[in-house]
Structure 1
Amino acid sequence: MKPSRRRLAVAALLAGSIATLPGCARWSAVQSAALGEHRPAGLPPRVNLQAVPFFPQTPLHCAPAALATLLQHQGLSRASPEELADAVFLPARGGSLQVEVGAAARRHGAVATALPPRLDALVQELAAGHPVLVLQNLGLAIHPMWHYAVLVGYDLDARELILRSGNEREQRLGLATFEHTWVRAGAWALAVLPPGELPPAASNEALLAAALAFARQAPAPAALRHWQALGSRLPDSLPVAMGLAQALADGGDLNAAAATLDAAARRHDSAAAWNNLALLRWQQGRHADAQDALGQALRRVEAAEPGWRSAVESTRQSLQAAPLR
């Protein structure tokens, strides 16, 4: 089996889902009003994650400070804001892009998952014990002042949120004020968690995208732990099954990887799964089974999945050229 090809297969399966992730929202303060009037069932009236550390930000370095807060709280890294600054701060832009923040979190062993652009999603994460990284625009639309902060709590009776922000360990902002600054920055929020821990408010598409991005660079045991957790939440997901098989194979458990792929291929009758199973069976020395799986992949390409023709043809050529073992 060629892991690089199989990772590409998982990425392609996710492409359509990732395109549906939410974008920017408009501000009308309706979210804060609705949250105050109609509280989600089972939500505690107040939460304050007091154990979350605090790093006062240096000029322009709010992103490194916020990221250090989350990584240290989760026990993933002891990196200081100064040590993280080189990875996320872009001098030419005078700040940090969200993509750089997410990438830096993954380099330190975290799974970075985008959250829905809704206030109720943020408080749901806080109620689950997860601080949340948010981006605000503290200026105007025509003269923005971008600012990263960490949500650590809320008080629905007082209609306020609690943040680690700037030089304030416990900044309290009214729900409407926060919503105004947050939505003006695109309503972007990120959960930064250890592998195997899932943010309850995240969409399935966001969970899959985060898992794939994490697995590309994570050690096999960490990737395996996260795919297994995601499989418990999405037991019928083809991308999850393929990601799990990849992690099992990377960890050397070819039998479990093959069993996972075989089950996924039969359940979903997927060209991608049959194709990857053919590669894995060949690596196991099960050449007849590999050819059978390849035949199934070719059948699916002809019947309904022409987009996989190039990948399956490449596999066919690889098996023809590979020596028998």
Structure 2
Amino acid sequence: MFRNVLMLAFFLLLNACAATGVRETVQNKDLPRQHELTKTPFFPQELYHCGPAALATALNAIDINVTPDQLVPEVYIPARQGSLQIEMLAASRRHGALSVKVAPRLDAVLKEVAAGNVVVVMQNLGLSWAPSWHYAVVVGYNLEQEKIWLRSGTFERFEMTLSTFQRTWARSEYWAFVALKPGSLPASDDPDAVAKAIVAFEKNSNKKDAYLSYDAAVKRWPDHLVLLMGLGNSAYALGNYSHATSAFRDATTAHPDSAAAHNNLANMLMILGDAKAAKLAAEKALALAGADQAMRVQIVKTIEEINSYTAKNPH
């Protein structure tokens, strides 16, 4: 009997937590009261293929034409009869989308939808001890009615209450992401999440798309070191040396203690023919490197290249 009371209290607590999240979201004055992305494409899933169907929906929503059948070999694992989250993100990036994880909050999901971004979510439609994992795509909501709409399974407009959605989503530890065109950014204000996403994206993207992503992010967060370094590196890869130099100089201004930023600036100044300024930047980098041996090796190599350049170009 005592155990039953504890279990009842536990479930009441879970429901209270879900209700609190919904209540806070409904009362959020920064969110439009309702919004629906009615033109979002729909791909009804085949058995166990909710992952490919949801991902195809998200990619086609940003004009990346791919079918669920094409995605099955990339994300579907027959032994698991489903798709892993890491494969969903990786496949999205391989097809040219910047995939950014959404903060684990209901209001964050709705904020993306209000900004025009569909959101891929993972839910457990069963129980914690008897899970039924499922991917769906959030396409709309109505705060007054406390309803949310999804492209889900074989339903083009599946309706759930916000509280039910919150509970089923919570069982996946609130896993969700948005797939964006290069040069577009999520609605959320999380530069670290965006930087992490772009770093992963550029491993499979072309040089231009990586540059577009970093450039857009730096315009929103002009002092973020990882984004500035990425912008400089991607501009360099495209042969835009003046823009690369500018990005690395901005990085040294925003983060004067960054040895890597000063070293990259030194390299760019040398390429532009300013050996004197390059040498000063490299010496500054070496002074900042401290006991970081790997960094010191890179900087010493930069200084040697500058000295070699100066010897060949004395004037």
Q: How far does residue 289 in structure 1 lie from its aligned partner after superposition?
A: 3.5
Instruction: Return the letter of the residue paired with 2:34.
Output: R
- Aligned partner of 2:211 in structure 1 is 224
- Aligned partner of 2:173 in structure 1 is 186
* Alignment of 1:49 onto 2:33: no
Instruction: Return the letter of the residue paired with 2:282.
Output: L
- Aligned partner of 1:314 in structure 2 is 298
Q: Which runs of 5+ in 1 are unaligned?
A: 1-25
C-alpha change, 1:117 and 1:295, in structure 2 (3 Å) is same
CA distance in structure 2 between the aligned counterparts of 1:218 and 1:116, rounded to whole angstroms:
24
Instruction: Return the letter of the residue paired with 1:208.
Output: A
Q: How far does residue 292 in structure 1 lie from its aligned partner after superposition?
A: 2.2
- Aligned partner of 1:34 in structure 2 is 24
- Aligned partner of 1:18 in structure 2 is none
- Aligned partner of 2:46 in structure 1 is 58
Q: How far does residue 285 in structure 1 lie from its aligned partner after superposition?
A: 4.8
Q: Could you tell which deviates more after superposition, 161-170 or 88-97?
A: 88-97
Instruction: Return the letter of the residue paired with 1:142.
Output: W
SS in 2 for 1:92: helix
C-alpha change, 1:84 and 1:202, in structure 2 (3 Å) is farther
Instruction: Return the letter of the residue paired with 2:279.
Output: Q
Instruction: Return the letter of the residue paired with 2:227.
Output: V
Q: Which runs of 5+ in 2 are unaligned?
A: 1-13
Of 264, 289, 294, the residue aligned with 1:276 is 264
Conserved? CA contact 2:282–2:303, under 8 Å: no
CA distance in structure 2 between the aligned counterparts of 1:97 and 1:111, rounded to whole angstroms:
18
How big is each residue's C-alpha offset from its partner over 1:268-325, in whole Å with a ceiling of 9 and x where there is no partner?
A: 11111012223333444544433322211111123xxx4x431232341365379646
C-alpha change, 1:281 and 1:41, in structure 2 (3 Å) is same
CA distance in structure 1 between the aligned counterparts of 2:158 and 2:274, rounded to whole angstroms:
62
Instruction: Return the letter of the residue paired with 1:31.
Output: G
Q: If the length of structure 2 is used for normalisation, what is the TM-score?
A: 0.87
CA distance in structure 2 between the aligned counterparts of 1:263 and 1:49, rounded to whole angstroms:
38
RMSD (Å), alpha carbons: 1.9
Q: Could you tell which deviates more after superposition, 189-198 or 289-298?
A: 289-298
- Aligned partner of 1:290 in structure 2 is 278
How big is each residue's C-alpha offset from its partner over 1:192-216, in whole Å with a ceiling of 9 and x where there is no partner?
A: 1111111112522211111221223
Q: If the length of structure 1 is used for normalisation, what is the TM-score?
A: 0.84
Percent identity, aligned pairs only?
Answer: 37
Q: How far does residue 265 in structure 1 lie from its aligned partner after superposition?
A: 1.5
C-alpha change, 1:202 and 1:262, in structure 2 (3 Å) is closer
Q: May I ask how many residue pairs the two structures share in their alignment?
A: 293
SS in 2 for 1:57: coil
Conserved? CA contact 2:191–2:224, under 8 Å: no
Q: How far does residue 257 in structure 1 lie from its aligned partner after superposition?
A: 0.7
Superposition map of 1:154-169 within 5 A: 154-169=141-156
Q: How far does residue 96 in structure 1 lie from its aligned partner after superposition?
A: 1.2
Conserved? CA contact 2:266–2:302, under 8 Å: no
Of 86, 89, 94, the residue aligned with 2:81 is 94
SS in 1 for 2:178: strand
CA distance in structure 1 between the aligned counterparts of 2:21 and 2:231, rounded to whole angstroms:
37
Superposition map of 1:68-217 within 5 A: 68-75=56-63, 77-217=64-204
Instruction: Return the letter of the residue paired with 2:202.
Output: A
CA distance in structure 2 between the aligned counterparts of 1:81 and 1:32, rounded to whole angstroms:
32
Conserved? CA contact 2:211–2:235, under 8 Å: yes
Conserved? CA contact 1:245–1:260, under 8 Å: yes
SS in 2 for 1:133: strand
Using CA pairs under 8 Å that are at least 6 residues apart, name the structure with larger relative contact order, 1 or 2.
1
Q: How far does residue 42 in structure 1 lie from its aligned partner after superposition?
A: 4.1
- Aligned partner of 2:4 in structure 1 is none
CA distance in structure 2 between the aligned counterparts of 1:251 and 1:310, rounded to whole angstroms:
26
CA distance in structure 1 between the aligned counterparts of 2:75 and 2:56, rounded to whole angstroms:
11
